[in-house]
Structure 1
Amino acid sequence: MADMTDVKIRLNFWRSAYEKLTAAYTALVDGRVKSYTIDDRQLTRFDLGTLKDEIEEAEQKIDELTALLNGRRPRKAFGVIPRDW
């Protein structure tokens, strides 16, 4: 498990990535621009689906890292097996 300084660094990275992704998404959806550039990546309206997926991934990472900073453990996956008695 990473120490708190590493968690804070990762959290800052994902927050800045989230801000860039949401800015690109809103600019493309509003129709203000035909293409948007993030660092060396060129995005168009055709990339909205993948951009939305990346935003959801960033939100999930931010939630996990803030939970780690608050002292909570990451969520564990579990399965439910329905039974017919």
Structure 2
Amino acid sequence: MTTAQQMVDKYIEAELAVLDGRTITFGGRTLSMADLKDIREGRLEWERRASAAAGSAAGRNKGYSLATFN
């Protein structure tokens, strides 16, 4: 099973490869500079998932908190 952090790492590798002017095959698609926006959007999504997974593992809540006003 691929973890969210592993997916972030793959998207970073793809982003770096494309920025270096190379094409890369990722998820069955061949990506080039024209696909950089899609790669970055995918990376951001997986970074959010990795952050949420890390928060859950650390026992933190789901991104919200409750305030008590006296």
In the superposition, the TM-score normalised over structure 2's length comes to 0.80
User: Root-mean-square deviation (CA), in Å?
Assistant: 1.5
Gaps of 5+ in 1: 1-8, 77-85
Which residue of structure 2 aligns with residue 62 of structure 1?
A: 50
Rounded to whole Å, the distance in 2 between the matches of 1:54 and 1:30 is: 19
Q: Which has the larger radius of gyration?
A: 1
Which residue of structure 2 aligns with residue 18 of structure 1?
A: 8
Question: How big is each residue's C-alpha offset from its partner over 1:15-53, in whole Å with a ceiling of 9 and x where there is no partner?
Answer: 11111111010011122x1x1112422111111001111
Percent identity of equivalent pairs: 22
Report the count of equivalent residues: 64
Gaps of 5+ in 2: 65-70
Q: Following superposition, which runs of at least 4 residues in structure 1 exceed 3 angstroms of deviation?
A: none
